[in-house]
Homo-oligomer: A and B are copies of this chain.
Amino acid sequence: MFYHDRELQYKVRVDKPNPQFAKLLQQAIGGIEGEIRVCLQFLFQAWNSRGPMKYRDMLLNTGTEEISHIEMLATAVCLNLEGSSSVLKDEMAASNPMISAVMGGKDPRHILSAGLGAMASDANGVPFNGSWVVSSGNLAADMHANVMAEATGRVLATRLYEMTDDSGMKDMLSFLIARDTMHQNQWLAVLEELGPGTHPIPNTFSQEKENQTVNYTFFTTNIDRQDPTMARGRWSEGPSIDGKGTFRQEPAAPIGGIPNLGPPDKETHAQREQMVNSDGSFIEKVKDIIAG
C-alpha cells in the first residue's frame, strides 16, 4: 500500500523558465528511458514477484522512490513553463511565414492540452506506452532490464545536464544522476548475489536441449571483399562468459533448404493465378475456381 508526503524528495528550482527545456524534460518523464517506465517496471516486478520475499521488498522501495522522481520532473516542467503562454501569443502575433522563427523547440500541447503543465509523453509528444514495462517472471532477466533502463536513463540525464545552464535544473539533475548511479549498482548487485551460474538466462532450461553446435559460435554474415576478421573480439575466441562453452567464429551458411508452403487455401481468396503448386502445375481442387 502507498502513502505520500506533501513535500518533494529534493528541491526543484528554476532560475529562468525555459519552455524548450520543459519539452526536453518530458523525455525523462514519459519517454522509454523515463521515470514512469522505471516506476511501473519496478512496481510490477515487485507485485509479480515469486520466490524469496526480499526481492519484492527491495523492488517496492525503489519503485516507490521513482514516483517521487516523476513528481520532481513534472514540477520542473511546470516551473519551466511559467509565463510562457503570453510570450507565445506575442510570438504568434508577430510571426509571418517569411520569418517563421517562433515556437521552435516547444511542445505546443504544453499550452493547448496541459495549460502549462506536464504530460505523460516524451520529448516529441509521443505518449508513454505500457509495452515498455518489463516484468518477465525471471529475476535475472528483470535485473538486466533494470540495468538497461538505468543505463539509458542516466545517459539521458547527463545529456539534459549538458543542455541547460540553469543552476536550479543542474542541481536537480545532479540529484537524479546520483540516484541512477545507485540504481545501476543496485541491479548489478542483485546479479552478483545471484552468482556465477546466472547465465545463460533462464538457467532452469537444461542446456542439453539446445542445439550444441551453434550455442557458442559467432556467425559472420559478411561476404564482402574486405578482411572478414575485422569483427574479431572477446566474443570470437576463448571461454564463453558464462563459463560453459568456448567461443568460435564461423561464416554463416544455410542448412534449412528452400521453404515450400502449400498452395493457398480456397477460403482465403488468394488470386486465381496463385492457385497452383510452387512448381507451377495447377492443383486439382482449384479447377472449379479457375472455371468460375
Contact = CB atoms under 8 A, between A and B. Distances in A.
Most buried by B among A75, A118, A155, A289: A155
Interface string A6-32: 111111100011111101100100111
A235 B58 contact: yes
Contacts of A8: 1, 254, 256-259
A270 B204 contact: yes
Contacts of A241: 184-185, 188-189, 192
B231 A268 contact: no
Given A58-B235, A85-B265, A255-B10, A278 B185 contact: no
A45 B152 CA distance: 14
A95 B287 CA distance: 30
Interface string A256-282: 111111111111111111111011100
Contacts of A224: 1, 4-7, 254
Contact of A256 (B10, B102, B206): B10
A190 B242 CA distance: 13
A126 B123 contact: no
Contacts of A167: none
Given A159-B112, A264-B51, A107 B136 contact: no
Interface string A118-138: 111111111111111111111
A84 B160 CA distance: 15
B107 A104 contact: no
Given A1-B8, A209-B161, A61 B289 contact: no
Given A57-B222, A92-B165, A182 B4 contact: no
Given A126-B124, A159-B111, A269-B202, A2 B1 contact: no
Contacts of A135: 114, 117-119
Interface in A223-252: 223-224, 226, 230-235, 240-242, 245, 247, 252
Given A58-B235, A129-B130, 13 more contacts: A4-B60, A7-B254, A32-B134, A100-B102, A103-B105, A113-B156, A123-B125, A127-B129, A134-B148, A148-B148, A177-B209, A185-B216, A188-B199
Nearest 7 pairs between A and B by C-beta?
Answer: A115-B137, A104-B104, A8-B256, A103-B105, A48-B117, A124-B125, A128-B130
